[in-house]
Chains A and B, each alone.
Chain A
Amino acid sequence: MIYREAGDFKTSYAKDQQTFPIAFDRWGYFITLAFAFLVVPFIINDYWINAVVLPFLIYAIAAIGLNILTGYCGQVSLGSGGFMAVGAYAAYKLMTGFPDLNIVFVIFLSGGITALVGMLFGLPSLRIKGFYLAVATLAAQFFLVWLFNKVPWFYNYSASGQISAPERSIFGYAVTGANALPAVSYLFCLCFVVILAWAARNLTRGANGRKWMAIRDMDIAAEIIGVNPLKTKLTAFGVSSFYIGIAGAMLFAVYLGAAEVGEAFGISKSFLILFMVIIGGLGSIFGSFAGAAFMVLMPVLLKNVMVGQLGWPTDLAAHFEFVIVGGLIVLFLIVEPHGLAQLWRLAKEKLRLWPFPH
């Protein structure tokens, strides 16, 4: 009744093709954005920003990146952790090597460097497919982690190999380092997320996106109709790694502040991002957000309920957390194999007809 498309007439192709064709959706989107930019920074406390919202925003970028590669182009990758490490170490080297360089450029440049590395490791995808490719990308994961651990140049010859982000600011406000106000880092991340999500949405529905999807659906057929698999797969790897690199740079510089490659960017990170993409929904930008929210919020919520509210011992709660998250993943897949995005779509379908289901 409230959510409807009746009376929503389009008079041009551009309007018909817009991301949110239904007025209600469009307004919802703008209100959410306005709320996120104008209201949230003033009402949210440090704990929520530092423990939940920042990782959510940063992982959303990484999930969008992997979704471009896996969801849109059909190439399963388990190298995300390694690529995030590339972004993080690139950011560290840029920040310490060029102290005057603005942090925004640092992050975009780190993304660019990661894109190059990603394209290099994307080359085998021309021959290797499916799970073989997934396992092959693990080669990138393990090699990159080893490299950053082994070559002291990457961590400026510090004794332990830890990298720490020095303080950098925009408009006089610190965004990295310990003195950054949580609200400032939040807005900084939010800007990146909005711009990158907007870019991803428009990339995936343009010519490039359609080429990616053609390759995903059947690469031989796509080749026959004139899609160049080399170019298409490599652009997918490049764009995806660009996003993941940015996420890695922000995870290190804005969120963690210090990182060690094996621990922060290990194989479990690769799996985590893949979970987000699959749980959220392959081939959906909204799904990337939903998946990131699920994987970041769920453990925190469970922990707070079990330890904070029910007062259980922390180890029992941690074990239950595993059981519940695992159970929920399986349950979601059984109920809706196409992820949270599909559930959302179905809910909207239902809402359109509500309260008259026929």
Chain B
Amino acid sequence: MKMTKLAAFAATAMTMASPVLADLVFPSLSYRTGPYAAGGIPFADGYADYFTMVNARDGGIGGVPIKMIECETGYNTEKGVECYESTKGEGALVYQPLSTGITYQLIPKVTADGIPLHTMGYGRTSAANGKVFSNVFNYPANYWNGASNAVNHILDLNGGDINGKTIALVYHNSAYGKEPIRTLEELSKKHGFKLSLLAVDHPGQEQKSQWLQIRREKPDYVVMYGWGVMNQVAVQEAANIRFPMENFIGIWWSGGEHDVLPAGDAANGYKALTFHGVGKDYPVFADVQKYVVEPGNAAGAGDQIGTAVYNRGFYAAMLAVEAAKTAQEIHGVKDITPAMMRDGMEALVIDEAKMTALGMPNFGPSFSVSCENHGGPGLGGVAQWDAGAKEWKLISDFAPSDMEVIGDLIVEDSMAFAAENNIEERCK
């Protein structure tokens, strides 16, 4: 029975898997449905729009047009695998799944298949150690950098001394949310602040207990690692207990417009980390208007342009295109393969001159990737929400994080992975 069914479907599969060699293929594993759609839509739009713009404006990368294949994962790991398998045959150059769960699944697969994986600001943090993870990149910043950036911001506010202060971490009770705990514990030893942990279960509709606890314990600062509906509820609850919003700092995944808008004016002053520029105030958006919006090629509903998470997708696509350009230069071929793309990502250098030339001055930090360091310098800034103007404002420069602490943790975790999976160190 099952085999006859399979045979019937085989025809569909065969027509699907015919690779088009002429284009540079960038799969977009997006999620526009499901519980995390609010964050998935703007990212996917930004990712798609950048490629559309490059195709329309420059005729592709080095003259080779880009082909973006979108595949809906719904933030579901099994669908993520299905998407990976269905797109890798088409010559996919780099994967960006925007889900920590899918990332963990793809790490062994991409390594075996020789395709690079770029998890910008999420995924497995210790993948920053290029000696162990040959095909995984998480520049320019990762979860642990984020935790340190938040603590550094708090240090700045207090003139460098937070001894005896209390910081509460409100986190999504999943792989993603638990990531910063170790870093924060190390930092609390170093700086002498008291850390209190509050887990919120998926999906996070109901957080009364956690916020009553915060009201009771009166921590000086609250750091949040949330995603999906948890963000909106947390911002609302924080406003409800009249927690001072400027002392409430979210990771970049808790820093979208959609996270703060439902709370209205009450969200004014809420802070979120970011590793890229916010708002539409960059010359490149004129090009987006001209080459993407006006011809009617904007992805999705076209209403996300300039939002924080849209810019993140846009930035991710920009880094991918720059890496592809680098790869073309290194290998002297226009039609690059995933292996060449990997080399390009490993040799990627982003500096101010490059970003200005792209019409994105100061859009992100300057950094360079190397064989040992796939994580970049971990620079991050802080944005603050202005509920009146309904926009984020960058209130700090992209500042470094405490690599002393994080570096040790990265080595420790990646070595454990290497031992478990018998991986030899590279870059010797």
Chain A residues in the interface with B (C-beta under 8 A) = 32, 35-36, 40, 45-48, 50-53, 55-56, 96, 146, 149, 158-162, 164, 166-167, 177-179, 255-260, 262-264, 266, 286, 289-290, 293, 297, 300-301, 303-305, 307-309, 313-315, 317-319, 322, 344
CB distance from B176 to the nearest CB of A (A): 7
Q: Are A160 and B82 within 8 A (Cβ)?
A: no
Question: Does B374 sit within 8 A of A, measured CB to CB?
Answer: no
Q: Is the CB of A315 within 8 A of B32?
A: yes
Does B286 have its Cβ within 8 Å of any Cβ on chain A?
Answer: no
User: If the complex has contacts A178-B109, A257-B108, A314-B71, are A50 and B85 also in contact, measured as CB distance less than 8 A?
Assistant: yes
Interface of A is mostly: helix
CB distance from B14 to the nearest CB of A (A): 9
Taking a contact as CB atoms closer than 8 A, the residue among B9, B15, B100 that contacts A301 in the complex is: B9
- Enumerate chain B residues within 8 angstroms of A255, measured Cβ to Cβ: 81
The B1-36 residues at the A interface (CB cut-off 8 A) are: 1-3, 5-6, 9-10, 12-13, 15-17, 30, 32-33
Question: Of the candidates B13, B109, B182, which one forms a contact with A159 in the assembled complex, judged by CB atoms under 8 Å apart?
Answer: B182
Selected contact of A45 from candidates B2, B17, B72, CB within 8 Å: B17
**Residue contact B111 to A260, C-beta cutoff 8 Å:** no
CB nearest neighbor in A for B413: A159
B contact set with A: CB distance below 8 Å: 1-3, 5-6, 9-10, 12-13, 15-17, 30, 32-33, 41, 70-72, 74, 76-78, 81-82, 85-86, 89, 100-101, 104-105, 107-109, 111-112, 124-126, 173-176, 178-179, 181-182, 201-202, 300, 409, 413, 416-417, 420-422
A sample of 21 inter-chain contacts (CB < 8 A) reads: A32-B1, A35-B3, A48-B6, A52-B82, A56-B2, A96-B420, A159-B178, A159-B179, A159-B409, A161-B175, A162-B175, A164-B107, A164-B420, A178-B109, A256-B78, A256-B81, A259-B105, A263-B101, A289-B1, A313-B70, A314-B72
Chain A residue at smallest Cβ distance from B14: A45
Chain B residues near A290 (CB-CB < 8 A): 1
Q: Smallest CB–CB gap between B43 and chain A, Å?
A: 13
Q: Are B3 and A40 in contact (CB under 8 A)?
A: yes
- Residues A159 and B125 in contact in the complex (CB < 8 Å), given A263-B101, A303-B72, A314-B72: yes
Q: Is the CB of B175 within 8 A of A260?
A: yes
Whether B3 and A161, one on each chain, are in contact in the complex, defined by CB atoms closer than 8 angstroms, is no
Contact between A36 and B72, CB atoms less than 8 A apart: no
Q: Quick check: B111 and A314 within 8 Å, CB to CB?
A: no
Q: In whole angstroms, how far apart are the Cα atoms of A303 and B74 in the complex?
A: 13
Bound CA span A332–B342, Å: 48
Instruction: Write the nearest CB–CB distance from A2 to chain B, whole angstroms.
Output: 15
CA distance A257 to B420 in the complex (A): 13
A46 and B85 form a contact (CB under 8 A) = yes
Check A160/B72 contact, CB under 8 A, given A314-B30, A315-B300.
no
Contact A297 B32 (CB under 8 A): no
Complex CA distance for A178 and B108, rounded to whole angstroms: 5
Q: Give the one of B33, B71, B109, B126 with max A CB within 10 A.
A: B33
Choose among A55, A309, A318 the residue that contacts B32 (Cβ–Cβ < 8 A): A318
User: Which residues in A have their C-beta under 8 angstroms from that of B124?
Assistant: 160, 162
Q: List residues of chain A with CB within 8 A of the CB of B420.
A: 96, 164, 166
Residues in B neighbouring A304, C-beta threshold 8 A: 12-13, 16, 86
What's the Cα separation between A162 and B2 when bound, in Å?
33
Complex Cα–Cα for A166 and B421 (A): 6
Q: How far is the CB of A349 from chain B (nearest CB, A)?
A: 16
Q: How far is the CA of A330 from the CA of B9 in the complex (A)?
A: 24
| Top 9 A-B residue pairs of the complex, sorted by shortest distance between their CB atoms | A178-B108, A315-B32, A178-B112, A160-B175, A258-B104, A314-B72, A51-B82, A318-B33, A51-B85
Given contacts A159-B126, A264-B78, 7 further A-B contacts (CB under 8 A): A48-B6, A158-B413, A160-B100, A161-B178, A166-B420, A262-B201, A289-B1
A173 → chain B closest CB, angstroms: 15
Among the listed B16, B17, B33, B77, which residue makes an inter-chain contact with A263, where contact means beta carbons less than 8 Å apart? B77
Q: Are B2 and A289 in contact (CB under 8 A)?
A: yes
B101 contacts across to A, CB distance below 8 A: 162, 260, 263-264
CB neighbours of B17 from chain A (8 A): 45, 47
The reply to whether B202 and A178 contact each other, CB–CB distance below 8 Å, is: no
Alpha-carbon gap, A53 to B107, bound state (A)? 22
CA distance A230 to B417 in the complex (A): 45
**A300 to B78 Cα, complex, angstroms:** 11
Residues on A with beta carbons closer than 8 Å to the beta carbon of B72: 303, 307, 314-315, 317-318
Closest to B4 in A: A32
Nearest CB on A from B28, distance (A) = 9
Residues of A within 8 A of B6 (CB): 48, 52-53
B residues in contact with A293, CB < 8 Å: 1-2, 5
Q: Which of A32, A146, A303, A319 contacts B3 (CB 8 A)?
A: A32
- The docked-state distance in angstroms from the alpha carbon of A264 to that of B78 is 8
Are B78's CB and A55's CB within 8 A?
yes
- Cβ of B165 to closest chain A Cβ, rounded Å: 25
> B89, A315: Cβ atoms under 8 Å?
no
Report the Cα distance A320→B39, complex, angstroms: 21
Whether the Cβ atoms of A259 and B77 lie closer than 8 Å is yes
The answer for the CA separation of A301 and B86 in the assembled complex, in Å, is 12
Known A256-B78, A263-B101; judge A178-B111 contact (CB<8 A). yes
